Chain A
Amino acid sequence: MALRRPAEAPFLAPAVRPGRRTVADRESILGPLLLAPALLYVILLVGVPFFMAILLSFSSAVAGGLEFSWVGFRNFQVLLSDGQFHRALQNTLRFMLVSQLLVMVLATAAAHVLDAAFVGKRLVRSLLLLPWAAPVALSSMAWVWIFDSTFSVINWTAKKLGLLQGWWYWFGDPGLATVAILTVHVWRTFPFATVVILAGMSAIPQEIKEAALMDGAGFWRRLFHVNLPMLLPVVAVAVLFGLVFTATDFSVVWLLTRGGPYNSTHVLSTLAFQRGVLGASLGQGAAVAIFLLPILLVVAVLLLRVARRAEVGA
C-alpha cells in the first residue's frame, strides 16, 4: 500500500476533557441498576412466595379464607404417618431415577447411532425433537388416548403381534399406570438428552478419537474408556434437566392418572395439588410440596458440581 498524505486534514484533535464522567460511565452504578429489575422480580415473586409456602406448611390455612393459624409441626407429623404421602414420595423418586436411568442409556445409544456418519441425520434430529417441543399437556393427552383401555393402539399392536394374552388396563392397574407414566417421561426427555449428547460428541476433539483408533482400541473399549468419560459432563447436564423435569412434573401424572388408580401413582406435586387446591387445605398441600426441596437441592448441587468440573477439565 502507498500512504498518501491527504491534501488537507482539518484538525479535529479532541483534547483531554477533564471531569466528563457521567452516570452512563459509572459502571459501579450501571451494574446494579441493570440487574435491579430481575433481582426485584425474583425476590418479590419467587423469594417471598417461597417463604410464604414454608410458612403455610406450618399453618392450617384454608383456601378461600384469609385466616392463618399456627399449628407448628402438626402437618408434618400427620404426613409422616400418612401412607399416601409415603407412596407419593416413593413414586417421585422412583419416576425420577428409573426414567432418567433409562434415558441415559437410551440417549447415549441413540447419540452414538446417529453420530456414525449418517444419511438423513438432520431430518432424524429434527424428528427426535418433536416429543420435547410439543407442549406437555397436549402430548400427555395424546398418550392418554394411546393408552385408552378400549381403543389403545398399543394393545392392538401387541395383541396382533401375539405378545399379549389378556388385556392391558393401563389406568386401572397401579403397575401398568406406573409403566405408562414412565413411558411418557422417558419419551419426553430422551430426545433432548440425545441431541445434547450428540452435540457433546461432536465437541470431542477429532485427534482423541483418531488416537484411540490408532492405538488399536476396539469399539467397546473406545466407548467405555474414551467416549463416555469425555461425554460425562454433557450427559450429566442433559440428565439433570431431565431429573428436574420429572421431579417437579405435574401435568403428565395428573392428566394420565390423576394420581390413581386408588391414589397409587401420586407424586408429591399432584398430591400437593389434590390436598391444597382440591381439598382446600393449603397448609397440608404446602407441607407435601416442601419435600420436593431436598430432592431439588441435591440435583442443583450435582448440576453445579458437574458444571464446575467441566469448566476446570475443559
Chain B
Amino acid sequence: MRDRRLGRLLRRTLLYAAALAFTLFAVFPFYWMLITAFKQNRDLYVGATNLQHIPWIFNEPPTLHHVRLLFLNTPYFLWLRNTAFVGALVVLITLLVAVPAGYSLARLAGRWGERLGIGIFLTYLVPPTLLFLPFARLVSWLGLQNSLWALVVVYPTFTVPFCTWLMMGFFRSVPRELEEQGLVDGYSRLAVIGKVVLPLAVPGMLTVVIFAFTLVLQEFIYALTFISQVDRMTISLGVPVALVRGDVFYWGSLIAACFLTSVPIAVVYSAFIDRFIAGLTAGAVKG
C-alpha cells in the first residue's frame, strides 16, 4: 500500500518536474530578456567566464536607463507608428478581400469551392523568399523604394490566402438552415449574408484581424528588401538592424525593445488561442 502511494507520488513529481522543464525551456529567454532590459550596464556586461558573478539575477538594482534610451534616443516609437500604419491598412484590405471570398467558397461555389479553397490556401505556402526577388523589381519599377506603401501592397499576399481559408471554416460552421430561414423570411441572398451570417461570423473576423496583424508584425524579409531608410522601418526590421552603432549592439535597449514588444502580443494571443486552433484544425479536418 505504501509502495503504491510512493509510486504515485514519484510519478506526480516526475510529471510536474517534466512540465517545469518544458515551461522553463519555452520561457527562460523571456526571463532573460526581462533581466537584460533592466540591468545596469556594469551588471550586464560581465564576461560569462566570470563564474562568481551570477547573470541570472539583479546584482545591482534594476534601472530604467535602457528603456529611457530606447524611448527617447531611438526611432522606436516611429517604428511602432509605421508598423501600426501598415498593420491597420493590411488588416483592412485583408478583411475586405478575405471575408467575402471565404463566404463565397464556403457557400456559393459548390464542388469548385473545395478545390479553389485549397488552391488559395496553397498560395500561402509560396515562400516570400522566392517572391521577394520579383517584388524587388516591381517595387523599384513603381518607385516605391523605401515606402511603407510597398509593404501595404505586398503583405496581403500572405494574409489574404490564409485568412480566406480561416473564414471559409468559420462560415461553414454557421448552420445552413439559418440562411435558408432568412431567405424565406423575406430577404435576398445578399441581405441574408449581411443580416444573418456576418453578425455570427464576428468571432471569426476578430481572429482574422488578430492573425493578420501578427503576420504583419512578424514579417522581416520583405521589409529588409524594400526599406533601407531608418525612419521608414517597421519594428521587426528596425530593432535587429538599426539599434547598432557600427559593430556594437545596444543590447540593453535592443533587448528591452524585444521584450516590450513581444509580451503584449503574447498576452493577446493566449486570449485567442483556443478559437484560433479550433478554426485551424476544423478547417484542416473538415476541408
CB pair B129 A296 closer than 8 Å: no
Known: A133-B266, A156-B51. A300 touches B164 (CB 8 A): no
Query: Which one of B103, B191, B237, B285 lies within 8 Å of A24 (CB-CB)?
Result: B191
Q: Is the Cβ of B258 less than 8 Å from the Cβ of A42?
A: no
Q: Which A residue sits closest to B119, measured CB to CB?
A: A42
Interface string of B241-285 (1 = CB under 8 A from A): 000000001010011011101100110111001100110110011
Which residues in B have their C-beta under 8 angstroms from that of A113? 15, 18-19, 22
Chain A residues contacting B47 (CB-CB under 8 Å) are 150-151
Question: Please, which residues of chain A bring their CB within 8 A of the CB of B285?
Answer: 233, 307, 310-311, 314
* B-side contacts of A45, CB under 8 Å: 153-154, 156-157
Contact B225–A38 (Cβ < 8 Å): no
Asked if residues A129 and B48 are in contact (CB atoms below 8 Å), the reply is no
Chain A residues 256 to 314 lying within 8 A of chain B, measured CB to CB, are 268-269, 272-273, 276-277, 282, 285-286, 289-290, 292-293, 296, 299-300, 303-304, 306-308, 310-311, 314
Chain B hits for A139, CB < 8 A:
29, 258, 262
A83 — which chain B residues lie within 8 A by C-beta?
none
Among the listed stretches A74-82, A171-179, A195-203, which one makes contact with chain B, having 4 or more residues with CB under 8 Å of it?
A: A195-203
Q: Is chain B's binding surface mostly helix, strand, loop or mixed?
A: helix
Q: State which of A3-11, A27-35, A204-212, A220-228 sits at the interface with chain B.
A: A27-35
B178 in the interface, Cβ–Cβ < 8 Å? Answer: no
Q: Is there a chain A Cβ closer than 8 Å to B151's Cβ?
A: no
Instruction: Determine whether the beta carbon of A35 is less than 8 Å from that of B104.
Output: yes
- B48 with A272: CB separation less than 8 A: no
Residue A37 is within 8 A (CB to CB) of chain B in the complex: yes
Which residues in A have their C-beta under 8 angstroms from that of B220?
136-137, 250-251, 254
* Cβ contact within 8 Å between B266 and A30: no
Docked-complex contact B255 and A134, CB < 8 angstroms: no
Q: Are B18 and A237 closer than 8 Å at their CB atoms?
A: no
Chain A residues with Cβ under 8 A from B15's Cβ?
113, 116, 118
Asked if residues B26 and A191 are in contact (CB atoms below 8 Å), the reply is yes
Contact of B108 among A27, A137, A255 (CB under 8 A): A27
B96 located at the interface, meaning its Cβ lies under 8 Å from any Cβ of chain A in the complex:
yes
Q: Does A134 contact B266, Cβ atoms closer than 8 Å?
A: yes
Min Cβ gap A177→B in Å is 17
Count of interface residues, chain B, beta-carbon cutoff 8 Å: 100
A218 in the interface (beta carbon within 8 A): no
Nearest residue, chain B, Cβ from A310: B285
CA distance A251 to B131 in the complex (A): 15
Determine whether the beta carbon of B221 is less than 8 Å from that of A128: no
- Given the complex, which residues of A lie within 8 Å of B101, measured CB to CB? 34-35, 37-39
Give A157 to B141 CA distance when docked, in angstroms. Answer: 52
Other 15 A-B pairs with CB < 8 A, given A38-B98, A135-B218, A199-B274: A30-B190, A31-B104, A38-B164, A41-B156, A42-B123, A42-B161, A129-B269, A133-B270, A139-B29, A142-B32, A145-B255, A159-B49, A276-B136, A299-B125, A304-B118
B contact residues vs A (CB 8 Å cutoff): 15, 18-19, 22-23, 25-27, 29-30, 32-33, 36, 44-49, 51, 55-56, 96-98, 100-101, 103-105, 108-109, 116, 118, 120, 122-123, 125-138, 140-141, 153-154, 156-157, 160-161, 164, 188-191, 214, 217-218, 220-221, 224-225, 235-237, 239-240, 249, 251, 254-255, 257-259, 261-262, 265-266, 268-270, 273-274, 277-278, 280-281, 284-287
What 3 A-B pairs have minimum CB-CB distances, sorted nearest first?
A: A31-B108, A38-B101, A134-B262
